[in-house]
Amino acid sequence: MASIQERQEQVIQEFSALTQWEDRYKKIIDLGKTLPELSEDLKTEQNIVKGCQSQVWLVAHLNEQGQVVLQGDSDALIVKGLVGLLLRVYSGATPSEILSTPPEFLRALGFEGNLSPSRANGLHSMLKQIKLYATAFEYLLKTKK
């Protein structure tokens, strides 16, 4: 599996080809449409990402290879696309890789300057939640040894 850095570079290449923001939004929305829906039993208060204007659920577990497997969903299509983008970059990586790789793709793609402030805050809240999961799993792995 590709590293987070390699996945970020793939995402940057894909989005850099789209020079208009409307096209980038369309691509994000399309990503949201392809993201598998989270089962209703996982859409709990415990899995809601705090700090998002729309409803966002993020769930994580550690697989046998020590990789963080992420699932997510949102009730807003563009936000669901952002969830899909984060899952594409971070799901399947080890906790230490998630914690040690900065989200350069967000800056490179201009998301911070082109998303509405509430969406940008939500994106950072989702990223923070992914890093919290990674921190917890890294601790779990260290205490198992």
The model carries a pTM of 0.93
pLDDT at res. 112: 72
> What percent of the chain has pLDDT above 70?
99
Q: Name the active-site residue from 11, 52, 56, 70.
A: 52
pLDDT tens string 35-63? 999 999 999 999 999 987 899 999 999 99
> Amino acid identity of 63?
N
* CB contact set of 6 (below 8 Å; sequence gap of 6+): none
Higher pLDDT: 106 or 89? It is: 89
Amino acid sitting at position 87: L
Give kind and range of the element (H or E) at residue 59.
strand 56-62
SS3 content of the chain, % helix, strand, coil (to 5): 60, 10, 25
The predicted structure's pLDDT at residue 145 = 66
Residue 117 pLDDT more than 70?
yes
- Tell me, what's the pLDDT at 5? 95
> What local confidence, expressed as pLDDT, does residue 88 receive?
95
The CATH class for the domain spanning 4-144 reads: alpha beta
pLDDT at residue 142 tops 80: yes
In this prediction, residues 115-123 reach a mean pLDDT of 87
Provide the 8-state DSSP code for 145: -
Is 52 catalytic? The answer is: yes
Domain boundaries defined on the chain: 4-144
Confidence band of 120 (pLDDT split at 50, 70, 90): confident
Report the C-alpha gap between 78 and 69 in whole angstroms: 22
Of the candidates 72, 89, 91, the one whose C-alpha atom is nearest the C-alpha of residue 80 is 72
